[in-house]
Amino acid sequence: MFGFGLSPTGFLIGGARLHRDNSTFRSLYATAHLCGAPVIRKDKFNYVTGGPLGDAILFAMLTANPTEEVRR
């Protein structure tokens, strides 16, 4: 969609978070959120189109945490 693959977009979210690239993170998350079709039922939040694997990948990438400076 929009010239991007949905799986690579999900994985790039983690890279953007790790490197503290907020503008890239926001645009990638907006795409994932739009294409994932989020649904909230009771106490559960899921993306309809990704299934369990897509939810797991997005959870991992959205919680990626830069703990120290990236060394080059």
DSSP 27-49: HHHHHHHHHH-EEEETTEEEETT
Is 67 inside a domain boundary? Answer: no
Is 53 inside a domain boundary? Answer: yes
Is 46 inside a domain boundary? Answer: yes
Is 34 inside a domain boundary? Answer: yes
Per-residue model confidence as pLDDT tens for the chain (72 residues): 556 677 788 888 999 998 889 999 999 888 888 888 888 888 887 777 877 888 888 888 888 887 666 555
Is 26 inside a domain boundary? Answer: yes
Task: Report, in angstroms and rounded to the nearest whole number, the Rg of the chain calculated over CA atoms.
Answer: 13
CB 25 within 8 A of CB 14: no
Is 44 inside a domain boundary? Answer: yes
Is 72 inside a domain boundary? Answer: no
Domain total of the chain: 1
Is 71 inside a domain boundary? Answer: no
Structural domain containing residue 46:
6-62
Cα 44 to the chain's mean position, in Å? 17
Q: What is the pLDDT, as a whole number, of residue 26?
A: 93
